[in-house]
Structure 1
Amino acid sequence: MTPEEVGERLVHLMATDDPALGAVTAEVSGGGPGHARAVVDVPVARWWHAAEIARDPGALSCDFFDWVSAVDELDGGFAVIAHLWSTRRRHGVLLRTRVPRVDPEVESLVDLYPGAAWHERETYEMFGIVFARHPDLRPLLLPPEFEGHPLRKEFVLAARVAKPWPGAKEPGESEAGTAKRAPMRPPGVPDPNEWGPMKGKIPPPETPVRPARPVRPAGERPARPPRVTPAEVKPAEETAEGEGN
């Protein structure tokens, strides 16, 4: 089945006359032939049901769970995405739903796909999205005392502030140690003068002094060098002979 057919099939199987359940829509991802996938958007309340239909051998036969993760959409909440694959029919589908930023929660797929356990734990840890009915939703990668969710866009990337740059000099600093332009900070990296142990202690960067331009009287233009035409340029051999004579 093509990605278009996969998406249409799942939308058809999830069709309902109850508008309260929400609409199910499908599109096709990028990637070109062999890499494009059907992307099916489902309401969060129908997330588990969509995965169950996709796994059904009589529907899409997606018997293999590949991965699940999330995307921080800021004011739009979080997009939760799972990739399912059919080992028999050789097609896949990307299930996508959206959860709110406050108390984000979606139903776990572990009872359908046991392989989802590790991925749901990682997504819970990195984004703070709760997977309801997960049998063991505990930290996976970070130490127990760690606070926050590193893949949320508001998470402060404090490594460059908490400890010095490991190189011999900061990026942009010259070998001579002269004044340099303040380096650009990527998103999430705070200004060390506004956050962290050096708050309020860092002097502003020096502004390099540019040499003053000579002042010319108004209306006066510098003299241009005389133009030399090709006829006036003698070959080097002729010049050398003339000098010898």
Structure 2
Amino acid sequence: MTPEEVGERLVHLMATDDPEKGTVTAEVSGGGPGHARAVVDVPVARWWFAAEAARDAGALGCDFFDWLSAVDELDGGFSVIAHLWSTRRRHGVLLRTRVSREEPEVESLVDLYPGAAWHERETFEMFGITFARHPDLRPLLLPPEFEGHPLRKDFVLAARVAKPWPGAKEPGESEGGTSKRAPIRPPGVPDPNEWGPLKGQVAPPETPARPARGERPVRPPRQPRTEEETS
């Protein structure tokens, strides 16, 4: 089945006359031939049912769970995406739903795809999205004392504020240079003088004075060539 046919098939399977259940829509991702996928958007309340329909051998037969993650859409909440694959028919589908920032919760797919367990645990840890009915929703990668969700766009990376960024030098800088342009902070990282362990202790960067341009040396007038030089 082509990505277009996969998307149309799942939309047909999820069709309902009840407007309160929301609309299911489909599109095709980029990537070109062999890489494009059907992308099916479903309401969060129908997330589990869409995965069940995709797994059904009489429908799409997506028997393999590939991966699951999320995207922080800021005021739009979080997009949760799962990629399902059919090992027999060799086609896949990207299931996508949207959860609110105030109540980021979606149904777990572990009972349909046991391989989703670790993916949901990581997404819960990194984005703070709860997966209802997950049998063991606990931290997977971070230490127990860690606070916050690092993949949210409003999460401040303290290390970027507390110490200099260890990247390449600014253009034109050298080890022996006496002046240095103020480094540009990465997006979302606050001024270290306003947040962090050095709050109120960082002096504003000095603007180096531009050296005066010296006078150009006067070039002697060009002497005309003699007849011997031109012959």
Same fold? TM cut 0.5:
yes
Q: TM-score, normalised by structure 2?
A: 0.90
Deviations 1:123-176 (A, max 9, x none): 000000000000000000000000000000000011122345558xx8325322
Please give the residue correspondences for 1:150-229 in structure 2 after superposition, counting only pairs within 5 Å: 150-165=150-165, 171-172=169-170, 173-212=173-212
| % identical aligned pairs | 84
CA deviation profile, 1:76-114 (whole Å, cap 9, x unmatched): 000000000000000000000000001200000000000
| Cα gap change, 1:144 to 1:233, in 2 (>3 Å) | farther
2:140 is aligned with 1:110? no
Aligned to 2:85: 85
Say which SS state the counterpart of residue 122 (structure 1) adopts. helix
Write out per-residue CA displacement over residues 29-76 of structure 1, whole angstroms, 9 at most, x where no aligned residue: 000000000000000000000000000000000000000000000000
User: Alpha-carbon deviation of 1:198?
Assistant: 1.2
Deviates more, 1:195-204 or 1:136-145: 195-204
Query: Hey, what's the Cα distance between the residues in 2 that align with 1:184 and 1:165?
Result: 10
Letter in 1 for 2:2: T
CA distance in 2, matches of 1:30, 1:53: 24
Please tell me the residue identity of whatever aligns with 1:133.
R
Q: 124-133 or 186-195, which moves further after superposition?
A: 186-195
Contact 1:107 1:131 in 2 (8 A): yes
What is the identity, as a one-letter code, of the residue corresponding to 1:92? G
Match of 2:132 in 1: 132
Higher Cα radius of gyration: 1
After TM superposition, give the deviation of residue 177 of structure 1 in Å.
3.5
Pairs aligned (count): 226
Cα gap change, 1:226 to 1:16, in 2 (>3 Å): farther
Aligned match of 2:75:
75
Q: Which runs of 5+ in 2 are unaligned?
A: none
Q: Report the alpha carbon displacement of residue 188 of structure 1 after superposing the two structures with TM.
A: 2.8
Task: Give the RMSD, CA atoms, in angstroms.
Answer: 2.7
Match of 2:144 in 1: 144
Instruction: Give the equivalent residue in structure 1 for 2:12.
Output: 12
Give distance in 2, aligned partners of 1:127 and 1:77. 11
State which drifts further: 173-182 or 135-144.
Answer: 173-182
Following TM superposition, where does structure 1 have runs of at least 4 consecutive aligned residues deviating by more than 6 angstroms?
Answer: 223-228
SS in 1 for 2:85: strand
2:6 and 2:31 map into 1 onto residues whose CA distance is 16
CA distance in 2, matches of 1:205, 1:131: 47
Equivalent position SS for 2:106 = strand
Change (3 A) 1:136 1:227: farther
Q: Is the Cα contact below 8 Å between 1:84 and 1:94 reproduced in 2?
A: yes
